[in-house]
Amino acid sequence: MKAAVLPWTRDLLLNRTILWLLFIVNALGTVYGYIWYGSQMEYTVETQSAWQVIFVPDSPTASLFFTLSLLFLLFPRLVKPSLAGIVFRSLIEALGVVTSIKYGIWAVTMIMAGGAQGDHLQWEHYMLMVSHLGMAIEAMLFVRYMVFGRFMAFIALVWLLVNDTVDYTFFVFPWLPDVLENDLNAIQSFTMGLSVFSLLVTWLLIAFRKVKV
């Protein structure tokens, strides 16, 4: 069964039309995400230390890393086959996968948690749930065709934990619905736990990786 499914999956996911479509969708989503976080980024620069703004737009930055990863699949020779080139590509891919899994799941969970506690969900919330769920799914699908290994995935976890620490130390985490303000401690624990979970999922996917680009 695997021998029949994997070639079909590979042909579909690595089809250049599909890759270009995903690249365009992710690129547009990245731009939209930074616009979405625009107000919070401006507020952070005006009221807190400017360096903290780097840690505000979590999902768009994850999407940016994954968009670059798709570019590597479209143009395998974009990065020179040197040690520095391989390290750079592996780091970007690891960040793209681990952060996309984490923030894809996180955003959907926060929206659903807010809705469960009485936050009025509008069409934008459902659009965000679909798009963020797509982030997590596509990241897991493409691990098979990327070059990064477990160590780079661990480095991505380190970045996530640094991000989490800054978010909840300086309160630059994504703005939450008012109904979730009393759950901040639980959200912090969930967020950091989800970072580790995302690494474990990535490691598991790497362990079952059969096809290398």
Alpha carbon distances (Å) from 212 to 63, 80, 133, 198: 22, 17, 25, 21
The whole-number pLDDT of residue 7 equals 55
Mean pLDDT to the nearest integer, 38-55 = 96
The whole-number pLDDT of residue 81 equals 79
Rounded to 5 degrees, φ, ψ at 205 are: -65, -35
Residue 181 falls within a domain, yes or no? yes
Average pLDDT, the chain: 92
pLDDT band at 213 (very low <50, low <70, confident <90, very high): very low
pLDDT band at 82 (very low <50, low <70, confident <90, very high): confident
Residue 213 falls within a domain, yes or no? no
What CA–CA distance (Å, rounded) separates 70 from 26?
A: 9
Question: Which domain range does residue 198 map to?
Answer: 2-207
Sign of the torsion angle spanned by Cα atoms 17, 141, 37, 49: negative
Contacts for 106 with CB less than 8 Å, ≥ 6 apart: 58, 132, 191, 194
pLDDT band at 188 (very low <50, low <70, confident <90, very high): very high
119-149: pLDDT as tens digits: 999 999 999 999 999 999 999 999 999 999 9
Burial of 39 from C-beta contacts in 10 A (0-12 / 13-18 / 19+): exposed
The whole-number pLDDT of residue 10 equals 77
- On the CB side of 212, how many CA atoms lie within 13 Å of its CA? 6
Tokens read off for 91: 């780091």
Residue 16 falls within a domain, yes or no? yes
DSSP state of 174: P
Residue 128 falls within a domain, yes or no? yes
pLDDT band at 210 (very low <50, low <70, confident <90, very high): low
Residue 184 falls within a domain, yes or no? yes
Q: Please give the single-letter amino acid code of residue 167.
A: D
The total of structural domains in the chain comes to 1
Residue 130 falls within a domain, yes or no? yes
Residue 39 falls within a domain, yes or no? yes
Residue 212 falls within a domain, yes or no? no
